[in-house]
Each structure stands twice: as structure tokens, then as C-alpha cells.
Amino acid sequence: MEHSRSDEFDRELERIWREAATTRSPLPTELELAKALGVSRPMVREALVKLEAQGLIARRAHQGTFANVVALSVPFRIDQSYELTERLVQVGYEVKVDVVRAEWSTLRNDEADDLEATPGMPCFRVVKRWLANGRPLILAEDVVPARRRDDIEFGDEYSIFESVKLLRGVPVEWESAKLKPVLPDSATQELLAVGPQEPLLTISLVGVSLHGERLYRGHETHVADGPEYGMVRRSTRRT
């Protein structure tokens, strides 16, 4: 119940942020937000600190809190972590997710290198495909190095972050990402319905725990004419 309330708070705060960014007007004060959202002022303050760290707002003493209007034009940020399905829905797609494969497997050499693990060690492997408005858009392959367990079932709503907690017992604290353009192999051509010379974007992700354990490796392949990717960063020269 508390988790649901927190999700609702996040959605409402994002709605207020978007409204302020669209109208180019300051956000309400902390006290006004607390009253409007039915939460404590410290909870609002903590949320605003996170938004500022994400580059979505700037707070100025005696001036107010202002939304970063250009952040509206970056639907997918490579400097943020999010569930793909939720984000695709937020930017207006009708989404369907296919779990192509979910099985116990062993680490390949490239996966082991990224995870600082031993090739051939056991892992849980999931291949998923996202269709947006009926068209294949993203293909992802996630591997979590872990001892085999047959007491866990992974359904169609599989989440890499939840699976890591189940299999490794700790949450993902950070993710690193590397981007690279590629041409598709035959399997990718079939799953994403693209030709052999169609350029694709790959994003290789490594999830790390608070204490530095490499918990999972994800490899996403995106069609070139899907959602644009970008980042938001603070200027170093502010007066």
C-alpha cells in the first residue's frame, strides 16, 4: 500500500513538473506541493533534491523552483535508469512485450568480461522484444550470474531489477551504459523485422550493487528510427 502511494506521489509530481515546463512557470513551493499532494514537506524536499540531481529542475533562493524546459524534448535519457515498458507507455506508445526466451544458461566470454566473472558459470538469461504500436522496436538480452534455482517463476511481467533482487539478494544501485552502432545478425533481423544493412543502436548495460558487485549485464538493440536518445546535464558556468 505504501509502495502504491509512493508511486502515485511520483506520478503527480511528474505531472506538475511537466505542466510547469510546458507553461514555463515556476513550480509551487514545498509547502504548497505538500498540501496539494497530501504528503509531508520533508518528503517533497527529498523528491525535489532528486529532480534537481536529474537535471529536471533548478532551485534558486528567493526566486523559486524552475523546470528545465528542454528536458521535455528528450524522451529517452541514457543517463537515467527506467523500465522500458513504462517509459514507452509514458511517451505515447501502445506497447506489447514478448518474452522470446527465459532459461538457465551459462555466461559467454563477452558477458563474463563485462561482469568480471568466469566464462561458463551459471546464469539466468532472458530475451525480450518490445513492440510499439505493433512494430518491433527493441530487443534485449539480460543475464544474471547466479546459482540455478527452480523455486522461482518468471512471468511475462519480468523485471530485471526484481529478478536481480531475487537471484542475488541485493538491489542494483548503479548502471553503466555503452552505446555502439551495429548491423544486425540474422537472428536480430528476424526478431526486429529489419534488413541486413539497416543500422541499429546497441546499449550494453552493467548493473552494480552498492558494494561494487556486478549483478547483471543487459544488451539492448534498438531500431534506428525509434525514440530519440539523449541526456540532460547541468551547465558548469552558472552565476
Comparison of pLDDT for 153 and 224, the residue scoring more: 224
DSSP string, 83-147: -HHHHHHHTT--EEEEEEEEEEEE--HHHHHHHT--TT-EEEEEEEEEEETTEEEEEEEEEEE--
204 within 8 A of 182, measured Cβ to Cβ: no
Predicted pLDDT of residue 1: 37
* 29-75 pLDDT per residue, tens: 999 999 999 999 999 999 999 899 888 999 888 899 999 998 888 87
Domain boundaries, the chain: 2-73, 76-230
Question: Which CATH code is given to the segment(s) 2-73?
Answer: 1.10.10.10
DSSP secondary structure code for residue 79 in this structure: T
H helix intervals, the chain: 2-23, 30-37, 41-53, 84-90, 109-115, 160-168, 186-192
Angstrom CA distances, 175 to 48, 61, 206, 234, stand at: 22, 33, 5, 20
Cell of 16: 506538475
* 67-95 pLDDT per residue, tens: 999 888 887 888 777 788 888 887 888 99
Fold match between domain 2-73 and domain 76-230: no
> What is the chain's mean pLDDT, rounded?
90
By the 10 Å C-beta count (0-12 exposed, 13-18 middle, 19+ buried), 17 is classed as: buried
CATH architecture label of 76-230: 3-Layer(aba) Sandwich (3.40)
* 105-150 pLDDT per residue, tens: 999 999 999 999 999 999 999 999 999 999 999 999 999 999 998 8
